[in-house]
Amino acid sequence: MRVLVTRPEDDAAPLATQLARFGIASTIEPLLEVNYGDGGELDVAGVQALLATSANGVRAFARRCARRDLPVLAVGDATARTARDAGFAVVESAAGDVFALAELVRQRRDPAAGALLHAAGSVVAGDLGKLLANNGFQVRREVLYEARTATRLTAPTVELLRQGKIDGVAVFSPRTGAVLIELLKAAGVDAACAQMTAFCLSWAVAGAIEGVRWRLIRVAARPEQAALLDIIADEADFFSLTGRIP
Q: Provide block-wise average pLDDT over 10 residues at a time, the chain (246 residues).
A: 93 93 95 89 96 94 95 94 96 92 96 96 81 95 93 98 97 95 98 97 95 96 91 82 48
pLDDT of residue 127: 84
What is the rounded distance in angstroms from the CA atom of residue 9 to the CA atom of residue 182?
20
pLDDT at 242: 52
Residue ranges covered by each domain of the chain: 2-31+150-242, 41-148
pLDDT single digits (tens) 192-235 = 999 999 999 999 999 999 989 999 999 999 988 889 999 999 98
Residues 6+ apart with CB under 8 A from 10: 34, 55, 56, 59
Cα gap 34→231, rounded to integer Å: 27
* Tens of pLDDT, residues 33-44: 999 978 899 999
Q: Rounded to two decimals, what is the model's pTM?
A: 0.81
Contact call for residues 52 and 58 (beta carbons, < 8 A): yes
Q: Which CATH number fits domain 41-148: 3.30.930.10, 3.40.50.10090, 1.10.10.10, 3.40.50.1110?
A: 3.40.50.10090
CA 181/CA 139 separation, integer angstroms:
34
- Whole-number pLDDT of residue 87: 97
What pLDDT is attached to residue 246? 39
- Going by the DSSP 8-state scheme, the letter that residue 31 receives in this structure is S
Distance CA 52, CA 72 (A): 7
By the 8 A CB rule, do 4 and 168 touch? yes
pLDDT of residue 245: 42
- Give yes or no for a contact between 64 and 41, defined as CB atoms under 8 angstroms apart: yes
Level-2 CATH architecture, domain 2-31+150-242: 3-Layer(aba) Sandwich (3.40)
